[in-house]
Structure 1
């Protein structure tokens, strides 16, 4: 099934809406028609609520009210983000039947921008994992190969965009959960700087690492959506405003990566000097913070109803409970040191480049790869930028073994335009198509 929105940019759709070629109600109908149950990307659809929003969007455009580039655009929302009146299940039996009372802050921002919320997308249970196949609602499938995992935890959001069901989706990213599925599914995923899109109304995994992010067919669409949501506070200049066509880029050597994946991404930055990060030291910081903060959220549930968790999630929480307090204290101190070191690196370079993922998408149910256990491997190149709260963008960079490969670009807070401009200049392929 070929989704209607494959190859349709937000600019294209906006032009069609304003010319009268399309209507918001028509775009919504296309989205709902494109839902493929076999992918399991959506856990809840809201045709009635979405229809009311689409009708309002059409009425406003007809009367001269234009809310910007997301006006009338169908959007999907990850199921750990509250949408008032809809279930928020978090992929867990713990929240079976739970209905959100009001919209999360980012959903309010979407509605204020005129977006039409189509429904809720599948997530790894409580967003605590990167595979996308551990949930009470079942595994989400990768549109590029339905026997393979889409990555997580924003698995349904990525699959919905990659399948062309919607042109834009919202996800969350604590250790890579927007960028990982973007890379595996062959689309773009943007994790803004920490706090750039507010997390109020998002069920927490690790409060100081959680970011709200965007998934779209291209970096240009991520840029458009980010500007529409954040306005002046998160303004990202458009390509016409670019004053640095030859930005300085450093290549970050990835540890334990598939050589074909590394070659594919490195070919896009052949002249970039190589730099190395202390991934092992950063990982200790990440685990101490994530495990401590995650167990704080779940301690009572683990004590009172452990059987309601998926076994993989419960095992990770039990491991989190064993994290000693001194490790967290040390991690918070070490995070400040790493932040200074990366700031110095970004004084010498405008942005950093590396693969988003060290491998291509594994098969659903896999727990091991040639490079090591999947639990650690899948976040091995993405988590540092959550620890440091820096903007990071994953864009399609080609294929390895016929499966999508992502390039990850990182910069300092406030320099997001550098990432989007660089993505626009990459010689990599346009948006990948699902099989």
Structure 2
């Protein structure tokens, strides 16, 4: 069974002939049929197209001509990214109910990341679930229902890239593409016990432009830092449709790309010798579950053993949530505007309630929020003159029950109230990596976040790889997993 192999391990098996891409694709499709009913990670499959792609990859390996180091590896794509000939409904009935929504000819374009996945030879096994228009930190909507956490299906996988994270964690493909506008690859990575990178803004081109503007990033989700690195190498494809994109070379200063950076992180006894690390348990304004703080602190101590110089210090910022809300909900309102004045009555009820809370922004409010964002970016740039890396928890809490945007009895109805360590770095556009660093007493994954200065993406990957190697396996196998049929406790 291929579900327990990493992307790089699987590709090595393809190269030496021990397995074929058809084997991997068939395993993934059968696993989805067997276990996805428990977690609802996928919203669209095309078995015939998947197997055609796998056979094409198999033929390339037979000729000794794979397209990339991850040719043939099963990958999923969040149902936010355009995919030629395949509906991209973004979890919304507003799109699903439009005439022609299911007509392949209505979807003539690939997003840049979709093209990159195909150009790398990856085998797309399906599209994964998202909350409506990727607007919140859990994954449910009125179109495709509730997505659940493989570690405990009563809990949320987080969001908004919860379908991709749940799929990777459950062994339903090695690679997943997600979006991150306020933590949307990192939050579910922490909740599901996988790895996810939000790269520096613009390194991965986006098209069409996100309604959330330059808060929104594309990012890879995988099971290991090395897989994230090799996936990043595949995604660095220029695309003229994104005027805000930056050259890939901005984050690849050395030879070998991201995978080489990950490899450097596990070389020698002190791979982080001399690295200046700031550890901020709360960023100065958060509050953590004690198990989360314990596991993150333990990991920080390991960084010191790898040669890093660690100071416990806050970056001296205040919570930018009010400014984030202006930027975020202005974008969300813009999403609904083309769908008519009654669109608000046909969307996710919690979205409607949130827009009622955040609907009276003026142009001056928006400009004030941009000014807050610029000041925050300047403050963090100055902070990184003294520290190469900032470490925080990814989320202050572990996964909570499905069916609500916030934990039961929570003090605030907004998803941002329990994600204080992720959205600030969308505002500053810095690279941020989440890796699993331990588990709560109840066995739920805990994530640690590695943040770098803008364009220091390879350094972030190197640090993540070093810490991952030193930690070893720290998260139990999910209760719902392709490699253990029937493992769900009922």
TM-score bracket, shorter-length normalisation: over 0.9
Aligned to 1:156: 163
Aligned to 1:89: 89
Q: Measured at CA, do residues 187 and 240 of structure 1 come closer, stay the same or move farther in structure 2, by a change above 3 Å?
A: closer
Equivalent pair of 1:153/1:181 in contact (CA under 8 Å): yes
Residues in 2 aligned to 1:133 and 1:188: alpha-carbon distance in whole angstroms? 21
Aligned to 1:434: 478
Contiguous gaps of at least 5 residues in structure 1: none
Provide the TM-score with structure 2 as the length reference.
Answer: 0.83
Matches within 5 A, 1:305-384: 305-366=343-404, 367-368=406-407, 372-373=411-412, 375-384=415-424
Equivalent pair of 1:132/1:151 in contact (CA under 8 Å): yes
Q: Measured at CA, do residues 378 and 70 of structure 1 come closer, stay the same or move farther in structure 2, by a change above 3 Å?
A: farther
Equivalent pair of 2:195/2:433 in contact (CA under 8 Å): yes
Aligned to 2:433: 393
SS of the aligned residue for 1:285 comes to helix
Aligned to 1:5: 3
Q: CA deviation at 1:143?
A: 0.2
Residues in 1 aligned to 2:425 and 2:19: alpha-carbon distance in whole angstroms? 39
Match for 2:277 among 249, 265, 274? 249
SS of the aligned residue for 1:268 comes to helix
Q: Measured at CA, do residues 4 and 139 of structure 1 come closer, stay the same or move farther in structure 2, by a change above 3 Å?
A: farther
Matches within 5 A, 1:27-42: 27-35=24-32, 36-42=36-42
Q: Measured at CA, do residues 138 and 430 of structure 1 come closer, stay the same or move farther in structure 2, by a change above 3 Å?
A: same
Equivalent pair of 1:292/1:323 in contact (CA under 8 Å): yes
Residues in 2 aligned to 1:148 and 1:164: alpha-carbon distance in whole angstroms? 18
Contiguous gaps of at least 5 residues in structure 2: 238-247, 305-309, 480-490
Match for 1:421 among 462, 465, 488? 462
Q: Which sits farther off after the overlay, 216-225 or 325-334?
A: 325-334
Matches within 5 A, 1:91-170: 91-96=91-96, 98-99=101-102, 100-170=107-177
Aligned to 1:21: 18
Q: Which sits farther off after the overlay, 238-247 or 333-342?
A: 238-247
Paired residues, number:
431
Equivalent pair of 2:317/2:376 in contact (CA under 8 Å): no
Which digits, 9 at most, give the CA deviation of each residue in 1:49-97, with x for residues without a partner? 1112111111122222221122011100001111111121111111116
Equivalent pair of 2:437/2:474 in contact (CA under 8 Å): no
Aligned to 1:77: 77
Provide the TM-score with structure 1 as the length reference.
Answer: 0.94
Q: Measured at CA, do residues 141 and 281 of structure 1 come closer, stay the same or move farther in structure 2, by a change above 3 Å?
A: closer
Which digits, 9 at most, give the CA deviation of each residue in 1:175-224, with x for residues without a partner? 0010000000011111111111111147x340110100111001121111
Aligned to 2:230: 224
Residues in 2 aligned to 1:146 and 1:95: alpha-carbon distance in whole angstroms? 28
SS of the aligned residue for 2:433 comes to strand
Instruction: Calculate the aligned-residue CA RMSD, in Å.
Output: 2.0
Match for 1:265 among 287, 292, 296? 296
